[in-house]
Structure 1
Amino acid sequence: MSKSLCKFRRTEIVGQIQQIQSMVEAPKYVCKSCARVANRASFLCKPMEMDLKAQSSETVSDVQKKALKAQKKRNKKLKKLLKEQKKLLKKQDKLVEKIERSKYSLSSKVH
């Protein structure tokens, strides 16, 4: 049996990194003493099974909330840009109309 994750010294971690990675891949247990995680209870000194369902649903909910907030922020910016575009379009129309009038008045003076 391999050594408990809780018992590894800092100096031993680098030399045993491959073994440690395989021990912590897809964790199902958490140590009640030091909060380390592992995929088998035998890898920890005081193991406790993790409640993965509650954790994953909470994470999904948080991600959804953040995504919704970001989407609302983008929508607000888009509305502001649309309003500004409409305003600029009105100004452009007025300038085009003014130019047309000035062309008409110039052409009538020339004849």
Structure 2
Amino acid sequence: MKKTICKLSKSDLRDRLDELASIVSSPQYLCTKCGRAANKKRNLCKSIEL
């Protein structure tokens, strides 16, 4: 995934559910801007470690 999940639109997220599921399966980081969580820091725009 080239964009962060923070910047993807809702329709983009629905189209990529399988890919999204693998990105958020065991979250280690949280975006302080939008509240999304992900396994890797690079998938979020303003991440902090959980």
Q: Under a length normalisation based on structure 1, what TM-score does the superposition of the two structures give?
A: 0.43
Between structure 1 and structure 2, the one with the greater Rg is 1
More strand per residue: 2
1:1-111 equivalent positions in 2, closer than 5 A: 2-50=2-50
- Structure 1 stretches (4+) deviating beyond 2 angstroms? none
* 2:43 maps to amino acid: F
Distance (Å, rounded) in 2 between the aligned partners of 1:36 and 1:13: 12
Distance (Å, rounded) in 1 between the aligned partners of 2:34 and 2:45: 9
How many residue pairs end up in the alignment?
Answer: 50
- Asked which structure has the greater RCO (Cα within 8 Å, sep 6+), the reply is 2
Distance (Å, rounded) in 2 between the aligned partners of 1:47 and 1:11: 23
More helix per residue: 1
Tell me the percent identity.
Answer: 34
